[in-house]
Structure 1
Amino acid sequence: MPDAIALADAIRRGETTAEAELEAAISRCESLNPRLNAIVCKLYDEARASLANLPDGPFRGVPFLLKDLLSPLAGAPLSQGCKALRHFRPDHDSELVKRFKSAGLVIFGKTSTPEFGLVGYTEPEAFGPCRNPWNLDRSVGGSSGGSAAAVAAGIVPIAHGGDGGGSIRLPAANCGVFGLKPSRGRLPTGPDYGEVWSGAVVEHALTRSVRDSAALLDWLAAPDAGAPYLIAPPPTSFSEAARTRPRALRVGVILEHPEGRRLHPDCHAAVEATVDLLRELGHQPEPVPLPYDYALMVDSYLQMYYGEVAADLRELAGVLGRPARREDVELATWVLGKLGHRRRAADFAAARRHWNTLARSMGRFHQQYDLLLTPTLAEPPTRIGELQPTAKEKLGLEWLSRLGLVALLDHPIHQQAIRNFARMPFTQIANLTGQPAMSIPLYWSADGLPIGSHFIAPNGDEVTLFQLAGQLESVAPWAGNWPPVHA
């Protein structure tokens, strides 16, 4: 399959048509989705109707999938992975969706996400687990798991994603595609939101090629009315950056787990292979200690997380027109929301202040180093269900919740959150500091699973990330690596 830019060029030259490409994408979806469960809402007729008035944007006629979270598409369901919202249909487009449309992208479906995008695996009770095309028993990660699976399997070359703790980068790593989280404020969040998760969340896309990601960001990146942040425009286009060889970069490298525990050998090997490649290209990678307080980062993130889940339940009540009930959401969501209600405003405010401490730590690091390199995850893709609470744990949580004994859950749930955090400890720092970061698929394990390499740049410096990504793609191309389940 060509990437999105090549496909748009072929349509523009008359070598194919938008109609033909949409029908081909629908055919791929019908063939592959029963095995992957990546697409949870089909919008075939709406997509066909949209072809009559396609804008002449850079991606005119390219089939596209929208993540079923945050960004509403007028008239289409917006379940956010929640069974209580399966029939909720917003009456307007988000600003980001308007820009996707103006780029000429043809939205023909919506992709699976965990409930409210809360976890790093895509197994919502409302739709069932999304499966990894590299191994159907393995997780795609989350929360943009459906989009990553669809791109990896070749249903589409590009799909929407959002990232509040690694939710673009984690599934990109698990599925062997490219995923970039832009800087805070780079993309619009209106008209419904300003800061999403206190500014931790940024939306963009998952792609097979670097140039697709860069060209889409060129089109999308501009403030909208009432934007809470105004970020400086890049010194050059992102597309130009992806074609430009970077200067020799000084790269700090983390090869140890932040908690001092064992890093999976495959993840260690992936970073070592990336370090070797960087040296061959004339860059200067060197081991560094973790440049921020990991325990402070985890605590700050989780305090925000609990509060945001509680806010999600309040927002759900507004949509339903009544208070949210236990049966409306998954057990874990309900319990986390209850814990969020128990947190004090002072705790939330103190945690939010710690984001500034972490940002200053990373700022000092970048006075010496252009980039930070880590594994994207601390282990390869987990098995489906592995990160879920056990049946015994679910039973205990259910009873304590129904008896109103949530206080007894506070410590064990927090400890479980920390344990799950340890499986994916490298991505969240960029969400708290607002920095751009990317996962690049440069390594596959002996059993055929993709392992991502993760780079973080200074705030606002997507240009350096795209320069390096384009260079790495040219010498170690991954787009030809197809999973066992693909078009």
Structure 2
Amino acid sequence: MNFDEYGRLDALGMAGLVGSGDVTPEELLNLARQRLDSVNPTLNAVIADVPPTPGGNGRFHGVPFLLKDIFHHVRGLPTSCGSRAFAAIPADHDSTFVQRCRAAGLVVFGKTNLPELGLKAVSENDLHGATRNPWNTALTPGGSSGGAAAAVAAGVVPMAAANDGGGSIRIPAAHCGLFGLKPSRGRVPPGPSVAEVWEGACSDHVITRTVRDSAAMLDALHGADAGAPFDIPPPERPYLDECSREPGRLRIAYSVRSPIDRPVHPDHAGAVERTAVLLQGLGHEVEEAAPAIDGMELARCYLMLYFGQVAAMVRGRSVRGFELDTRALAMLGRALDSGAYVRAHARWNTFSRAMGAFLSRYDLYLTPTTATPPAQIGALQTPWLERLALRPLLWLRAGRLLLHSGMVEKLALRSLERTPFTQLANLTGLPAMSVPLFLSGEGLPVGSHFTAPFGREDQLFRLAAQLEGANPWGQRLPRFLL
């Protein structure tokens, strides 16, 4: 097999050739490494090696695979989380996710880049540097699973591990022309060392080129492990089977308006409108409507989670090991009183009830995945004057002052104005997906984002497979590969 053949295959296609004896796992791994050696000096997608071990005889036997370097622990190796503070601490166990990947037959050989602690929608950090987008190497692939998306888009592997606490699967999938699904809360357990991540807002899964790979991988990953706080009823049939079933006539609501009332790029609004036309042509009922949710209030609640979780992750470690922005977020988290945090968390129930009512009238909710094209590398770094001002504030521990100065609203607008659509699914626990149906006027991928009722990944896979058949994206190549 040569690389052209390798690059045209999805993970199930590779596994099929291994099963038939037409190719060996060793050949596939060598091709993946050759591709990595070719593209990684430019893209910086993979930042650590993992000694490959033979996987089980599951559905993906022999397929090369990459982990994300946060929460996906490999015993004896550091999980750096993109931070100097964790870069030399070896994990003492394999995570449940890694165990299930290996049982499925995947051959893990590396870890992908991310922002420090997975906190940004770009994949840049002081420890490993910036990951670049194969569609335009001056741009970010998004975050936090940007290394995973860049590696898949560049043809290193057909799919890669990812997780999503505010859009971290769906945003890089959209920026890199890939399929990305965030499962329902608790569908994939994060054990065995923790019961939930980010109060259950964060979910593990993969970024893929094809819908069927994502479905088959969720078949391998779903289900409670020992001590898991959630045990969602299993699907009626394997998710892979859903990809060959018709979705039926769906009632789909759509909106192109930013929930925090910021501009949405015409290409991104236009992609949703084109998606609506495509859906109507496929026989679905589509109308413009949005749930009765205060988008700014949701953004504030998300940032309260963000601040508190960062403070907890930093606690007990030398602040010198963390980037300035992370230290500032932790300062804000330490300044939160417990009542404010609990009240913000309780608001999640309000959002969930509103979405429950909305999705009792509609089968799915469609929006852009992101409001803007991917940013230039480095463009979203904190300006140097603000960084200069942060240092004395950190020394003075002025977090409470900042919390009461309107800083939260400013942070919400600045940090989420480019990606305001994805956090809703995280706080409500709903499954959601980004589908790369169209390109922008500049030839960049644009994602269309669908949210479904709780536990209805089956519905998402059926529609995604129908859309993939109607407007295939799998053979579109990034500029970097042309």
Q: Normalising by the residue count of structure 1, what TM-score does the alignment of the two structures yield?
A: 0.95
Identify which range, 83-92 or 128-137, moves more after superposition.
Answer: 83-92
Amino acid at match of 2:136: N
Amino acid at match of 1:5: L
Query: Sequence identity, in percent?
Result: 47
Identify which range, 130-139 or 401-410, moves more after superposition.
Answer: 401-410
Match runs of 1:15-414 below 5 Å: 15-43=22-50, 46-47=51-52, 50-51=53-54, 54-314=55-315, 317=316, 324-410=317-403, 411=405, 413-414=407-408
Query: How many positions carry a matched residue from both structures?
Result: 473
- Partner Cα distance (1:311, 1:250) in 2: 42
Which residue pairs with 1:10 in the alignment? 17
1:262 offset after TM fit, Å? 2.5
1:378-427 C-alpha deviation (Å, 9 max, x unpaired): 11111111221011111111232124334444336421233221211110
Amino acid at match of 1:40: I
1:302-330 C-alpha deviation (Å, 9 max, x unpaired): 1111110011112xx3xxxxxx2331101
Which residue pairs with 2:4 in the alignment? none
1:61-89 C-alpha deviation (Å, 9 max, x unpaired): 00000000012111222100001221221
- Partner Cα distance (1:237, 1:369) in 2: 24
Match status 1:465 vs 2:460: yes
- Partner Cα distance (1:347, 1:328) in 2: 28
Change (3 A) 1:114 1:413: farther
Match of 1:83, SS? Answer: coil
1:456 offset after TM fit, Å? 0.1
- Partner Cα distance (1:77, 1:312) in 2: 16
8 Å contact from structure 2 (residues 122, 144) kept in 1: yes
8 Å contact from structure 2 (residues 371, 420) kept in 1: yes
- Partner Cα distance (2:204, 2:30) in 1: 27
- Partner Cα distance (1:68, 1:289) in 2: 36
8 Å contact from structure 2 (residues 189, 196) kept in 1: no
Match of 1:393, SS? Answer: helix
8 Å contact from structure 1 (residues 32, 486) kept in 2: no
Unpaired runs of 5+ in structure 2?
1-6
1:261 offset after TM fit, Å? 3.3
- Partner Cα distance (2:340, 2:402) in 1: 18
Match of 2:73, SS? Answer: coil
- Partner Cα distance (1:101, 1:302) in 2: 35
Amino acid at match of 2:25: A
Match status 1:424 vs 2:419: yes
Match status 1:440 vs 2:440: no
Which residue pairs with 1:475 in the alignment? 470
Match of 1:150, SS? Answer: helix
Identify which range, 98-107 or 253-262, moves more after superposition.
Answer: 253-262
8 Å contact from structure 2 (residues 300, 412) kept in 1: no
8 Å contact from structure 2 (residues 72, 98) kept in 1: yes
- Partner Cα distance (1:419, 1:447) in 2: 24
1:289 offset after TM fit, Å? 3.1
Change (3 A) 1:412 1:388: farther
Match of 1:77, SS? Answer: coil
- Partner Cα distance (2:293, 2:407) in 1: 25
- Partner Cα distance (2:64, 2:89) in 1: 24
8 Å contact from structure 1 (residues 249, 283) kept in 2: yes
Amino acid at match of 2:336: R
8 Å contact from structure 2 (residues 188, 224) kept in 1: yes
**Over the residues paired in the alignment, what is the CA RMSD in angstroms?**
1.2
- Partner Cα distance (1:88, 1:486) in 2: 36
1:91 offset after TM fit, Å? 2.1
8 Å contact from structure 2 (residues 154, 481) kept in 1: yes
- Partner Cα distance (1:147, 1:266) in 2: 25
Match of 2:480, SS? Answer: coil
8 Å contact from structure 2 (residues 336, 400) kept in 1: no
1:162 offset after TM fit, Å? 0.2
8 Å contact from structure 1 (residues 99, 219) kept in 2: yes
- Partner Cα distance (2:37, 2:77) in 1: 19
1:234-261 C-alpha deviation (Å, 9 max, x unpaired): 1221101111110110000012122333
Match of 1:203, SS? Answer: strand
Unpaired runs of 5+ in structure 1?
318-323
- Partner Cα distance (1:189, 1:143) in 2: 17
8 Å contact from structure 2 (residues 81, 114) kept in 1: yes
8 Å contact from structure 1 (residues 152, 486) kept in 2: no
Match status 1:450 vs 2:441: no
8 Å contact from structure 1 (residues 80, 116) kept in 2: yes
- Partner Cα distance (1:372, 1:382) in 2: 26
- Partner Cα distance (2:472, 2:400) in 1: 51
- Partner Cα distance (2:325, 2:174) in 1: 25
Amino acid at match of 1:225: A
Amino acid at match of 1:377: T
- Partner Cα distance (1:471, 1:223) in 2: 29
Identify which range, 225-234 or 456-465, moves more after superposition.
Answer: 225-234
1:8 offset after TM fit, Å? 0.3
Amino acid at match of 1:352: H
Amino acid at match of 2:357: R
Amino acid at match of 2:380: L
8 Å contact from structure 2 (residues 211, 464) kept in 1: yes
